[in-house]
Amino acid sequence: MNDLTSKSITETIKGLENAEFSKEELNKAYLGRIEKLNSNLNAYLSINDKSEGIPAGIKDLISVKGQRMTCASKVLEDYVPPYNATVIDRLIANKISVIGKTNLDEFAMGSSGENSAYGPTLNPWNTEKVTGGTSSGSACAVAADLCTFALGTDTGGSIRQPASLCGVVGLKPSYGRVSRYGAQAMASSLDQIGPITKTVADARMVFGWISGADGYDSNCINSKLEIQNPKLNTLKGISIGLPKEYFGKGLDREVEKTIKSAIKKLEDLGASTVEINLPHTEYAVAVYYIIMASEVSSNLSRFDGIRFGGNRDLFGSEVKRRIMLGTFALSSGYFDDYFIKAGKVRTLIKQDFEKVFEICDLIAGPVSPTTAWNIGEKIKDPLTMYLSDVYTIPASLAGIPGLSVPCGFANDLPVGLQILGKYLDEETILSVGEIYQSATSWHKKRPKL
């Protein structure tokens, strides 16, 4: 009974159906664990002690009616959303309840979880290390068994990277798969909501619940997604592309070894591999910081202190920096050289992926060039921090789906294997992740807390 909190969603649903435990016992177990661990880890910014369903942690920039939402900013210190985000309504319809709102980098801007106005989230594997960001609290809460699963958002890697650094599963769906109605917009041509879970099978389930158009997000794809059992049951015939650019300079040697042995495992399971080139990868971070910052400067202009929230002087420095960078890139005299140029290079990055997907079914490589780093290590040097997202940003710019799957440890810290798929083909990457997990047990490892 005392391991209720380590169960996956599938196991929890089964346990409830077989009356092995009740929903009250389930929530009590989680609330007890949160009470014990959250003051140290700082995964949650607020707790709902009236949680009744299967408990989920929700990134604190997704609206839950009546529950404070801060976006980890002082600007929204006492903001209470008057409506639910679409993803929340859909979770509730599937008997999920929100047990708490999880910490993040302020307005989802950062790569480490340190930019929260309410203090950093600590990595449950080693509390001197960062969790990664920006869905820092969501990844930490899943890894530390403080919820059955969590929702995060991913603009340039904010689901995949903290999932990788905390040893849990993270899915960034294709752009347009999930409605963002009720989520605070950061960079609207990139933002996606997605699950952070204990298993790939759980990610599939949550993705099925939350995806599909609602009429409130014009970029959301209308076609109904049927989430059923995995389509593949073997990797025979699957071709995996290994981008040369994702295994070059800057990749930690221990991380590289771990990733290569995971790829070897996929080969043992029947997949073939092929070396590929994504030649415009080196420009992705530059393109991303122009486009993302430009969209940020526009989206965050709504914070005028009139209809909700406090004044603009309450923004943290990373938020201010990005608003300024974006305003600069959009300003008269620079617009063509930066914003338009970045849009053109984005086309080339997207075409890189389209070309390689003619010869392979998916792409595999590292999520992050290193394991979790020390708290404070990169915070004073924004550019170095930006460069830590070099392997996740290209897929965001192209709008394709990406999955982070725990695949081992380097320097005693978790490493995530990134699996990228064709646009709207979450099915293949989820199937491959599930086959990998059925043959390995990395996802069953838990931090000692």
Partner 1 sequence: MKNNKRSKIDIKHVTRLTNLPVTAAEEKTFETQLSKIIGYIDQIEKGVDTKKVEPTFNVSPNSNVKRPDVAEESLSQKDAIKNSKNIKDGFFETKGVFENE
Contacting residues toward partner 1, per CB under 8 A: 79-80, 82-83, 175-176, 189, 215, 218-222, 280, 282-283, 285-287, 289-291, 297, 301, 305-309, 311-313, 315, 317, 320-321, 323-325, 327-328, 331, 333-334, 337-338, 340-348, 350, 382-383, 386, 397-399, 423
The SS3 call for residue 287 is helix
Local structure of residue 174 (DSSP, 8 states): P
Instruction: Give me the least distance between CB of 316 and partner 1, in Å please.
Output: 11
Which residues share a beta bridge with 336?
none
Count of other CB atoms within 10 angstroms of residue 17: 8
Between strands 149-154 and 54-59, the pairing is parallel
Of 13 and 286, nearer to partner 1 (C-beta) is 286
φ, ψ (nearest 5 deg) of residue 442: -60, -35
Of 15 and 310, nearer to partner 1 (C-beta) is 310
For residue 363, which of 397, 391, 390 has the smallest C-alpha distance? 391
Instruction: Give me the least distance between CB of 308 and partner 1, in Å please.
Output: 4
Instruction: Give me the least distance between CB of 80 and partner 1, in Å please.
Output: 7
| 55, containing H or E segment | strand 54-59
SS (H, E, C) 341-390: HHHHHHHHHHHHHHHHCCCCCEEEEECCCCCCCECCCCCCCHHHHHHCCC
CB under 8 Å to 158, separation ≥6 — which residues?
105, 108, 133, 134, 135, 152
- Say how far residue 120 (Cα) sits from the centre of its chain: 17
Instruction: Give me the least distance between CB of 161 and partner 1, in Å please.
Output: 20
Of 107 and 289, nearer to partner 1 (C-beta) is 289
Distance CA 389, CA 368 (A): 7
Of 261 and 347, nearer to partner 1 (C-beta) is 347
Instruction: Give me the least distance between CB of 82 and partner 1, in Å please.
Output: 4
Instruction: Give me the least distance between CB of 187 and partner 1, in Å please.
Output: 11
Of 328 and 409, nearer to partner 1 (C-beta) is 328
Of 12 and 299, nearer to partner 1 (C-beta) is 299
For residue 391, which of 262, 255, 269, 220 has the smallest C-alpha distance? 255
**Which tokens belong to 444?**
């069953």
Of 122 and 221, nearer to partner 1 (C-beta) is 221
Of 26 and 296, nearer to partner 1 (C-beta) is 296
Instruction: Give me the least distance between CB of 319 and partner 1, in Å please.
Output: 9
Instruction: Give me the least distance between CB of 176 and partner 1, in Å please.
Output: 4
For residue 126, which of 414, 385, 444 has the smallest C-alpha distance? 414
Instruction: Give me the least distance between CB of 340 and partner 1, in Å please.
Output: 6
Between strands 413-421 and 149-154, the pairing is unpaired
Of 131 and 297, nearer to partner 1 (C-beta) is 297
